[in-house]
Amino acid sequence: MRPPVLILLAVMVAVTPAFMAAEDVAAAPDGVLISEVQPKGAEGLSLHNFGDRCLDLKGYSLSDSEGKLVFTRSIMLGPSADITVSFDIDSVQTFLDRPGDEDFFAYEVGTFGITADKRFKLADSGDGLCLFDPGNVLLDSVCWGNVTVEGWSGRSGDRPTEDRYLVRLSSSDTDTAEDWKLTRPGMTDRSCVTFTADVTPFTFPECRGSHIYNALESAREEVLISIYQLTSRETVALLCLLAGSGVSVNVLLEGSPLGGREIVNTERMMMKNLVDSGGTVRFINDPNSGDNRDYGSRFTYVHSKYAVIDGKTTIITSENWTESNMGAGEGNRGWGAVLESEDFASYMREIFFNDSSNVFGDCMDLLELYPQQAGFEGGMAYSDPALTYDDSYESITFRECMVTPVLSPDNSYGRLRSMIEGSEVRVFAQQMDLSDSYMSLSEESPASWMVEAASRGVDGRLILDITNDTGSEYAEIGLINTTTGLKAAGISGGEGFRLTHNKGVIVDDSVWIGSVNWTDTSFFHNREVAVIIDSPGVTDFFKSHFMEDWDDNYAFGEINLEILCSGDGVPSDFGSFEVSIYPKGDYTILWDIYGDGNHIRSSTVDKISYEGLEPGRHTLIVTVTDEDTGRSASASVEYIAEEYHGHTDNINVNCVYLAVGASASAVALGIIRAEKTRDFREKRKRRYR
């Protein structure tokens, strides 16, 4: 066996001194940092020039605290260029073998004077690297496992594996684990960028897929869809029509979704129809790919839900395009947006073609995986649903919004954290659950960031789904409400939707829409796609829907009482009292007519009539008790029953907000003569159905 050979791989730019003018060479270090590390398998490392000038690496060195690697001759490193050094020329591992990248080329040790002593060895279990300039000034540090080195702060970085190596996230250098993450060829490392777009927001299930259908119908050249699950027959039928008319239709689907084989088999049959119509369908992580997955999977799941149309329109949703969400049945609560922007679409096209590439071993065409796949024989005809909001909720487009694409595992966790921590007015979030990853409200939990914001006076509200909860979400909601300033509520379905599957966040005048659940897997291991839309108009749109869901929450958070007293044009000794209670629930209502404990009525309905009302000034006290939880709240109001032409006049009072289990009173005294009673329910925002 021959001894290990040191190899130099120069990425993007590798120019010898003969091709570089002296004035183009920086005289001092200008942004070179360690950018990649792989101690396991194909041992090696990379340097990246984050500066805007070419650098001569002669005299630079790296130390692992035991040995040293030195650049003894001139090697030019251009702006935005990388140099990769490895100890194993024959290894075909993910660190060296980067499918689809033709910019790598190699040099043997000694060709350009790269030397390493025998003590320089990167340990798999834990080690560190320090980069020094020719004057032996420390420029950068990185460590992994349980080791720390000079210049490093805090915990060490994650330990690389056979198919994952450490990569720097950006030019920002804090010498902490926050600068690094694990990656492999075919994974992206995008930082956040912002574009301008016209945005049309919509919600599930109210839209019934209409915004998506309208956008797809407009396609003339290309449709790209990356989605966890696509089982809507109407949608697939439309895609078949588009493919048959010459539109290039490309679909990337998760090959191992949760939900049962019947759903997966039905989806594959429909995808066969799309392929027969001229479309391209690929599955990632499909269990049938077998030995083709030489490099392992890039993502635990491709859980994204987006489409790019004709290089100018992008659709991003929190919901899968299933039969129920796209028009039939009772769909989920979710959010979505159509974004018109060529720059945004171009960004997402690159992500799509990267993720759907078949050169990385985890993605294959449908008929490669299932050459005998049968088509779908059920009804699958497309007819324009022509579903729109009712007259009160027209589809509105907001012009020139600032939009920022967000990706997992690239940047979603850090971007969400900075967004919430920068809040000043409000932080609203609607999530399916917190998951075991973040249920404890530790510092790493997004809910804890909301708690911190609430402690600063920010209006913080968190809605969690409790449709199928076995007790953990109930307990978490109770813990949040009793120990923090954050307000939490559970919701079990709602008017027109089955499950809260949303992943939406509202911070001040910005809204987050997309597929990112608050789980460790979703942030760090899945391919997820979201968008941050900076627009007061778009934010108000989603805020109104959030607050409607908040008002429908079940037995948690604040109880909102609103009382209306009226005489209704009848004799002065008769009055009616009505109370509006949010959230909805099964309540017992006690009516203390004079506030003295002697004239109490009990009911389970929100309105009573009282005969024998004495003229004069009185206090009405209303106490409501939740039948399921035992929690109660009270509100009181002063009113005057005054004879006026033989009738008791109408009196309106202000609403009172109370925390669960608390009691308080708010007095609003007024007399309104000869006016009709106002129905307090008209004050609620109208819903569209």
Instruction: Give the CATH number, domain containing residue 245.
Output: 3.30.870.10
Residue 490 has pLDDT above 90, yes or no: no
Q: 208 and 328 share a domain?
A: yes
Q: Is residue 44 very low, low, confident or very high in pLDDT (cuts 50, 70, 90)?
A: confident
Q: Which residue, of 144, 159, 183, is where some domain finishes?
A: 183
394 pLDDT band (50/70/90 cuts)?
A: low
Q: Are residues 37 and 71 in the same domain?
A: yes
Task: Tell whether 387 is covered by a domain.
Answer: no
**For 619-633, what is the mean pLDDT?**
76
**Residue 394 falls inside a structural domain:** no
pLDDT at 571: 38
Residue 379 lies in a domain: no
426 domain residue, yes or no: yes
Q: Compare 553 and 313 and report the one with higher pLDDT.
A: 313
What is the predicted pLDDT for the residue at 91? 61
For residue 674, give Cα distances in angstroms to 456, 566, 645, 654, 683: 47, 11, 10, 20, 21
Instruction: Report pLDDT for 100.
Output: 60
Looking at the structure, do residues 679 and 566 belong to the same domain, yes or no? yes
**First-last CA distance in the chain:** 73
Using a pLDDT cut of 90, give the percent of the chain over it: 44
Local confidence band at 108 (pLDDT 50, 70, 90 cut-offs): low
Q: Is residue 213 predicted with pLDDT exceeding 70?
A: yes
Residues 232 and 286 placed together within one structural domain of the fold: yes
Q: Are residues 174 and 71 in the same domain?
A: yes
Task: Give the pLDDT of residue 385.
Answer: 63
Provide the edge-to-edge strand list for the sheet that holds 616-626. 600-603, 587-592, 616-626, 632-641
467/616 same-domain check: no
Range with the poorest average pLDDT among 47-51, 76-80, 388-392: 388-392
Q: Check pLDDT > 50 for residue 3.
A: no
Token couple for 348? 């997402």
- Tell me the mean pLDDT in the region 283-303: 78
Number of domains within the chain: 4
Structure-model confidence comparison of residues 200 and 469, the more confident one: 200
Q: Answer with the one of 134, 162, 183 that is the final residue of a domain.
A: 183
| 382 belongs to a structural domain | no
Name the residue with higher pLDDT: 482 or 644. Answer: 482
Assign 102 a pLDDT band (cuts: 50, 70, 90). low
User: Which has the higher per-residue pLDDT, 33 or 580?
Assistant: 33
Can you tell me the distance from the alpha carbon of 149 to that of 489, in angstroms, rounded to the nearest whole number? Answer: 46
Consecutive H or E run containing 106:
strand 105-108
- For residue 491, name the pLDDT band (cuts at 50, 70, 90): confident
Confidence band of 537 (pLDDT split at 50, 70, 90): very high
Place of tokens 């804090």: 174
* pLDDT at position 438: 80
Residue 189 placed within a domain: no
Q: State the average pLDDT over residues 254-269.
A: 83
> Which is more confidently placed, 508 or 577?
508
- Residue 576's pLDDT is 73
- State the DSSP string of 153-214: -SSPBPPPBTTBEEEE-SS---SSGGGEEEE-TT---PPP--EEEEEEEEEETTTTTHHHHH
Average pLDDT over residues 233-244: 96
Same domain, 256 and 202: yes
Confidence grade of residue 127 (pLDDT, cut at 50, 70, 90): very high
Least confident range of 227-236, 619-628, 663-672: 663-672
CATH code (residue 580) = 2.60.40.10
pLDDT of residue 2: 34
Q: Over 80: is that where the pLDDT of 299 sits?
A: yes
Residues 426 and 362 grouped into a single domain: no
Same domain, 211 and 333: yes
Query: Is 90 exceeded by the pLDDT of residue 481?
Result: no
CA 182 to the chain's CA centroid? 20
Residues 514 and 590 in one domain: no
- Residue 550: pLDDT band (50, 70, 90) is confident
Q: What are the residues whose beta carbons fall under 8 Å from the beta carbon of 669, sequence distance 6 or more?
A: 617, 638, 639, 640
The last residue of one of the domains, among 535, 551, 567, is: 551
In a domain, 401, yes or no: no
Whether residues 512 and 531 share a domain: the answer is: yes
Q: Is residue 572 part of a domain?
A: yes
* Domain encompassing residue 74: 7-183
pLDDT tens profile 420-457: 999 999 999 999 988 777 877 888 899 999 999 999 99
pTM, to two decimals:
0.74
Q: How far apart are CA 162 and CA 185, in angstroms?
A: 12
Structure confidence at residue 329 (pLDDT): 67
Q: What confidence score (pLDDT) does residue 683 get?
A: 29
Confidence of residue 538 (pLDDT cuts 50, 70, 90): very high
Torsion angle defined by CA atoms of residues 506, 451, 435 and 538, in that order, rounded to the nearest 10 degrees: 0
Residues 575, 650: one domain? Answer: yes
Please compute the mean of the pLDDT values over residues 364-369 and round it to a whole number: 95
Q: What's the whole-number average pLDDT of the chain?
A: 80
Which pLDDT score, from 0 to 100, does residue 642 have? 65
The phi and psi torsions of 106 (rounded to 5 degrees) equal -115, 155
Q: How do residues 316-325 score in pLDDT, each as one tens digit? A: 999 999 998 9
Query: pLDDT, tens digit, for every residue of 340-350?
Result: 999 999 999 99
Alpha-carbon span 43 to 87, nearest angstrom = 6
